[in-house]
Amino acid sequence: MIIAVVGATASGKTAKAIKLAKELNGEIINCDRFQLYKDLKILSAYPTDEELNEANHRLFGILAHDENTSALEWAKLATEEINKVKNMRRQPIIAGGTGMYLDVLINGISPLPDIPQSVREIGTELSKQDFNAMYKAVYEADPNLGILPEQHHQIIRAWEILTVSGKSIRYFFNQPKIKFINDEWKFVYLNPPKEELYNKINRRFDLMLENGAIEEVKTLLEKFKDMSYTEIFKKYHILKTIGAKEIALYIRDKLQYDDMKSFCKQYSRNYAKRQITWFNKHIVS
C-alpha cells in the first residue's frame, strides 16, 4: 500500500507526512513540482532543515534552476523511489499538492510524443498571431477531434502533437496507457475550512518575505542575467513558482511592495482553490 498525503498549499501536508513517517517507519516522496528544485526553497515552502531531519525525504531539491520536468518524468522517478522504499520494507508516503503528477502515477499516461522546445515556441507564437489557422489545421487532420475552439490550451497541444508526429492527439489517447504503480492507495486528504486555510496562506507569505524570499528571487534572476524577463518566465518552469513573477517585477520597480504582496497572496489563494477543486473531484469522489 502507498499512502498519499494531499491537499492545497498551506494545508499542513509536510507536518502530517512527517508524523506518519515516524509512526509507520515511512519515507516521504515529494509530489510538489516546485519543491523538486534546489532554488526558491523559501518561496516554494520547501521543508525546513529541521523537518528534513525528522524523516527521510526523497525527490526534494533534485533539479537545477534551468531544468524543466513533466508529470511523466516525475512519475518515473517516483516509481523508482517507491520501489527503493518498499525494498527496504519501509512505508512509501507521497506528499504534495501537484494533482496532475499524482494522477499520472496512479492512473498512467497516454504515450504522447515528446515536443521539442522549438515546436512549443512556434506553437505559442502561432496561437497568438493566427489561432484560427492552428484550429483549422488540427480539425483538417481529424474532423472528429472534439475540442472546442475556446479550449485554447488543448488546441495548441493537439497542434504540437500533429506537427511532430503527423497524427491526431486522439490516436495517442486511444493507445494503452503507460502504467507505473499497481499498489493499493490510501489517501490522507487535508482540507481545512476555507477561511482558516486562506489565513494560513496569508501568514505564510508574510513569513516568506521576512525569511528572505525577495533576496532568493533576486539571486535566482542573477543566473539568467543575459536573458530578458519575458524569455525566462516563458521558458523555465521554476519561475512559475507562485510569487516569483510578482517579486521579480517588484525588484525591477515595476510593482509596489504592497501590491506585490497582495497579488502573491491572492494568487496563492486562487491556486489553493484550484487544488481543492481537483482533489475533491479526483480523490473524494
* 25-45 mean pLDDT: 97
pLDDT band at 230 (very low <50, low <70, confident <90, very high): confident
Q: Which of 162, 190, 218 is the last residue of a domain?
A: 190
pLDDT band at 195 (very low <50, low <70, confident <90, very high): very high
Q: Which of 190, 217, 232 is the last residue of a domain?
A: 190
Is residue 280 in some structural domain?
no
Is residue 284 in some structural domain?
no
| pLDDT of 285 higher than 70 | no
Is residue 285 in some structural domain?
no
| pLDDT of 268 higher than 80 | yes
> Does 242 lie in the same domain as 185?
no
> Does 138 lie in the same domain as 223?
no
Is residue 276 in some structural domain?
no
Give how many domains the chain has, as a whole number: 3
Looking at residue 60, which CATH number applies to its domain? 3.40.50.300
Is residue 278 in some structural domain?
no
> Does 186 lie in the same domain as 132?
no
pLDDT band at 61 (very low <50, low <70, confident <90, very high): very high
* 211-228 mean pLDDT: 93
> Does 251 lie in the same domain as 161?
no
| pLDDT reported for residue 82 | 98
> Does 89 lie in the same domain as 13?
yes
Average pLDDT, the chain: 94
> Does 244 lie in the same domain as 150?
no
| pLDDT reported for residue 217 | 97
* Structural domain range at position 215: 194-271
> pTM of this prediction?
0.88
Looking at residue 143, which CATH number applies to its domain? 1.10.20
| pLDDT reported for residue 117 | 85
77-103 pLDDT tens trace: 999 999 999 999 999 999 999 999 999
| pLDDT reported for residue 32 | 97
Q: Which CA distances in Å does 184 have to 32, 155, 280?
A: 21, 35, 19
Looking at residue 205, which CATH number applies to its domain? 1.10.287.890
| pLDDT reported for residue 137 | 95
> Does 82 lie in the same domain as 15?
yes
* 143-167 mean pLDDT: 93
Is residue 282 in some structural domain?
no
> Does 157 lie in the same domain as 215?
no
> Does 139 lie in the same domain as 34?
no
Q: Which of 158, 190, 222 is the last residue of a domain?
A: 190
> Does 76 lie in the same domain as 165?
no
Give me the percent of the chain exceeding a pLDDT of 90. 86
> Does 158 lie in the same domain as 37?
no
